[in-house]
Structure 1
Amino acid sequence: MRLDKFLKVSRLIKRRTVAKELADQGRVMINGRAAKAGAEVQIGDELAIRFGQRHLKVKVMDIQEAAKKEEAHSLYEVLSEEPINH
């Protein structure tokens, strides 16, 4: 599944266009490598996302074309979440 679609379906990012922008800005990494919006995400991959004031690392646990709000959190496992110190 495309990275931008996974981020939206898992509700890590609310809109696919925002997910695409973050990826294109180099703020999303898959297994330690900067990833573009069209990069393929697979089960077991580790994603690192740099939001405005925080860093989030998650592990992909499942991939679904669509997920209800209640199911979205089961698609990933949070490995770490830390504030970014400026």
Structure 2
Amino acid sequence: MRSVIVALPGRVTGLSAPGAVRWINPEHVVSVRPRLAVTLEGLDLFVELKLEGLPLFETWIGTFENKELADSRRQSYLAELAAS
């Protein structure tokens, strides 16, 4: 069984950096949905993540200068989840 690192809520709780890192089993991932928010600093990338047995939560992945950089990070995040 392989685990991946997932950033858990950070920005949502007022932190200025991505949240705590936890190990999860990718087989427990039910859904992943990205969301972009325009801010004064750039584009904030969030991911709504649903894991088996846990409520849906949103985690902040980072702030990016443009949509292409945010999309690149989203793609690598999804690849990390799928690489099991």
TM-score when normalising by structure 2: 0.31
Q: Which has the larger radius of gyration?
A: 2
